[in-house]
Amino acid sequence: MSKSYRIAVIKGDGIGPEIIDEAIKVLDAVSITQGFNLKYEEMLLGGAAIDETGVPLPDETIKGVKKSDAVLFGAIGGPKWDNLERHLRPESGLLGLRKEMGTFANLRPAMVYDELVNASSLKAEVIQGVDIMVVRELTGGIYFGQPREQLEDKAYNTMIYTREEVQRIAVVAFDIAMKRNKRICSVDKANVLEVSQFWREIVEEVAKDYPEVELSHMYVDNAAMQLIRDPKQFDVILTGNIFGDILSDAASMLSGSIGLLPSASTGKGVGLFEPIHGSAPDIAGQGIANPLATISSASMMLRYAFGENEAADKIDAAIKKALSEGYRTGDLGDFDAKEIMTCTEMGDIVADYASR
Ligand code: IPM
Ligand code: MG
């Protein structure tokens, strides 16, 4: 009997449904040639869940994802839900889901496709060959710290990290560095924040178990600058929740479009795979979104959650081939494009190449 995987599919809001449909098209294409079965079960999260059930993270979804082998997620949020109370906003649904699933390690690769070296707003010589893995802590830090409150004349959040939280994300980063170029830059704000000093000390301790890995530390403001000045100096960037959120958006522009970059969130059990971009309400429904970040996230799912490396390699190669043939969605339209495609057409091309 061939292997079978259950995928919880969360399309979400905005361009979410469009880009997920293309990822599924590509997954179906490789699963046929690679001989495994994929079963999809759709679940609600974010604005779509609010409209249907009144809450951004229904219990059904929590139960459903826990029974699945992996979660493939599009994007959530939009102006329609912006005025809701914080705990009822779409974003709270996503944060709650990450916490429930225990996906504390968010891997955000930022690489530059040779084919798109002219697409970045930075000079080709600065970015050609960039290959960075941002390892972002995802279920702690200021996003989740208690106490937090908004009062009449003040509001506060708390940045908190426990020893265990820093240790486990550092171990993930060091393990990844061992499979890459064995360099980690841990990013913090230890010149100002106790929580960052603590972070730094624990990362140093973990480093003792990895003598082959070269560890450096950088303040987050400097790291933002260095990412733009000379991104090739980085191999693995290890950082906390909010710094990782900001730096990964900055890193995405090295590749030319935020529509290209995938992410994998792993941790205690089932993994969550999603593009790093948002729901782009301004272009939703027009069929012009770039599905490649989501297709690439589906490839990460095959690799990290199912160990289907050959199928993942096929998808990655298909994306590269589509780009090198000059196929582009509108976000990359100005750059060596032979043909500007819709979201669906890009999905068709990648699915075709991936199944050969
Ligand atoms: C991301 C997003 C989320 C985050 C939002 C939508 C809550 O920006 O995944 O980077 O801040 O983590
Ligand atoms: Mg973000």
Q: Sort 147 into a burial class: Cβ within 10 Å, 0-12 / 13-18 / 19+.
A: exposed
At 153 the pLDDT is 98
- Summarize pLDDT for 58-78 with one digit per residue, the tens: 999 999 999 999 999 999 999
**Are residues 267 and 239 in contact, defined by beta-carbon separation less than 8 angstroms?**
no
Q: Which of 142, 209, 197, 198 has its CA nearest to residue 172?
A: 209
Residue 187 host element (H or E)? strand 183-188
Q: Which residues have CB under 8 Å from 30's CB, separation 6+?
A: 302, 311, 314, 315, 354, 355
Percent of the chain with pLDDT over 70: 99
**In the chain, which segments carry CATH 3.40.718.10?**
1-103+261-356, 121-255
State yes or no: pLDDT of 1 exceeds 80. no
Average pLDDT across the chain, whole number = 96
Which residues are identified as catalytic? 143, 189, 221, 245, 249
Residue with CA closest to ligand 1 atom 5: 91
At 122 the pLDDT is 93
Q: Which of the four CATH numbers 3.40.50.150, 3.40.50.620, 3.40.50.300, 3.40.718.10 does domain 1-103+261-356 have?
A: 3.40.718.10
Q: Can you read off the two tokens belonging to residue 197? A: 């000093």
- Summarize pLDDT for 272-294 with one digit per residue, the tens: 999 999 999 999 999 999 999 99
**Are residues 222 and 250 in contact, defined by beta-carbon separation less than 8 angstroms?**
no
State yes or no: pLDDT of 126 exceeds 70. yes
Atom of ligand 1 nearest to the CA of 241: 12
Task: Give the least confident one: 28-37, 220-229, 336-345.
Answer: 336-345
At 22 the pLDDT is 98
| 192-211: average pLDDT | 98
State yes or no: pLDDT of 154 exceeds 80. yes
Reported confidence tier of residue 121, pLDDT bands at 50, 70, 90: confident
Q: Which of 102, 88, 109 has its CA nearest to residue 137?
A: 102
At 355 the pLDDT is 95
> Domain 121-255 is classified in which CATH homologous superfamily?
Isopropylmalate Dehydrogenase (3.40.718.10)
Q: What are phi and psi of 257, to 5 degrees?
A: -155, 140
Give the 3-state DSSP-derived string for 33-69, with helices as H, strands as E and coil as C. Answer: HHCCEEEEEECCCCHHHHHHHCCCCCHHHHHHHHHCC
d(CA 146, CA 140): 10
- For residue 96, give the ligand nearest its CA: 1
Query: Tokens 């084919």 map to which residue?
Result: 115
| 140-160: average pLDDT | 97
| 312-325: average pLDDT | 96
209 Cα–ligand 1 center, Å? 32
pTM listed for this prediction: 0.94
d(CA 63, CA 162): 28
- Cα dihedral: 210, 174, 267, 239 (round 10): 130
Reported confidence tier of residue 3, pLDDT bands at 50, 70, 90: very high
Q: Give the distance, in angstroms, between the CA of residue 190 and the centroid of all CA atoms in the same chain.
A: 26
Reported confidence tier of residue 256, pLDDT bands at 50, 70, 90: confident
249 Cα–ligand 1 center, Å? 10
As for ligand 1, residues whose beta carbon falls within 6 Å of it are 91, 94-95, 245, 276
Of 76, 94, 263, 272, best ligand 1 pocket probe by most atoms within 8 Å of the beta carbon: 94
- For residue 81, give the ligand nearest its CA: 1
State yes or no: pLDDT of 326 exceeds 80. yes
Which residues fall inside 5 Å of ion ligand 2, going by CB?
A: 245
State yes or no: pLDDT of 119 exceeds 90. no
Atom of ligand 1 nearest to the CA of 249: 10
d(CA 233, CA 151): 43
State yes or no: pLDDT of 350 exceeds 70. yes
At 337 the pLDDT is 80
Residue 316 host element (H or E)? helix 309-324
At 120 the pLDDT is 85
Q: Which residues have CB under 8 Å from 249's CB, separation 6+?
A: 258, 276
Q: Can you read off the two tokens belonging to residue 299? A: 């490839």
**Are residues 127 and 301 in contact, defined by beta-carbon separation less than 8 angstroms?**
no
Q: Can you read off the two tokens belonging to residue 210? A: 């990895």
- Cα dihedral: 313, 316, 317, 323 (round 10): 180
